[in-house]
Amino acid sequence: MQNKVVIITGASSGIGKALVYEFAKRGAKIAMGARNLDELHKIETDLKSRGVDALSVQTDVTREADCKNLIEKTVERFGKIDILVNNAGISMRALFEDLELDVIRRLMDVNFWGTVYCTKFALPYILKAKGSLVGIISVAGFLGLPGRTGYSASKFAVRGFLNTLRVENLKKGLHVLVAAPGFTASNIRKTALVADGHQQGDSPRAENKMMSAERCAQIIVNGVVKRKREIVMTLVEGKISVFLSKWFPSLLDKLAYSHMAKEPDSPFK
């Protein structure tokens, strides 16, 4: 990663912030995109005190112009792009029959269209560098999580989009990594949208029992270094669930329903 230029969206917190520090620790130059510019500036100041070359760009990935600006500012500052990590994302928690449709639109705008916009503008530079295009999805991108229709749909869409780009650019040296964390300790559940579009606030899960964002970032960066095509994290909620989805889908449906119904204040029982 020495002197590689890495763009990370959703860089102000959670997995995105952990990825910033993991790439920086390995010698990369970092361009950070997020809506919270104050938090980005705090991270940038800390990185610079450690001798890391970093750039903060206020970015709302639902806006095509913001994504284009992030790419342009990065190239203007560093002259190239080696790696784009599409990490920005939001979640939801509600039954579809109770859900306001705008909630799904918002999830698709952030999770899917944010990935499409940033990738569109960064791809020429990544192809020139024969670099890496990374999408942070979820096990929800492999199996339908009840109460998370919009989230699963958006993550399935990102996986299909990136897998297709891999094939399209098979002879151009492009590396595409689809990384699927299991439940990871971050703020994504606190900011998850409920049926009427408001944030749910407190997480319904035991965050202290989940994989840390830092460990998740280490696995993802190792995957970039090794140019892996896919990473599914955690054993039970990740690898085993994906295996069951391929070979025993009906069993997985029952297990997923039972598991998610045990959450406090679950929208279904």
Q: Classify 95 as helix, strand or coil.
A: coil
CA–CA distance, 136 with 10 (Å, rounded to integer) = 11
| Closest C-alpha among 229, 219, 177 to residue 22 | 219
Cα(206)–Cα(228) distance, integer angstroms: 30
Out of 117, 125, 151, 257, which one is annotated catalytic?
Answer: 151
Q: Is 21 a catalytic residue?
A: no
Residue 65 is encoded by which pair of tokens?
Answer: 């112009």
Task: Give the other-Cβ count within 10 Å of 140's Cβ.
Answer: 21
In a 13 Å sphere around the CA of 187, the CA atoms on its Cβ side amount to 12
Using CA atoms, how far residue 53 sits from 5, 56, 130, in Å, is 10, 11, 22
Q: Quote the CA–CA distance of 249 and 119 in Å, as a whole number.
A: 32
What amino acid positions are annotated as catalytic residues? 151
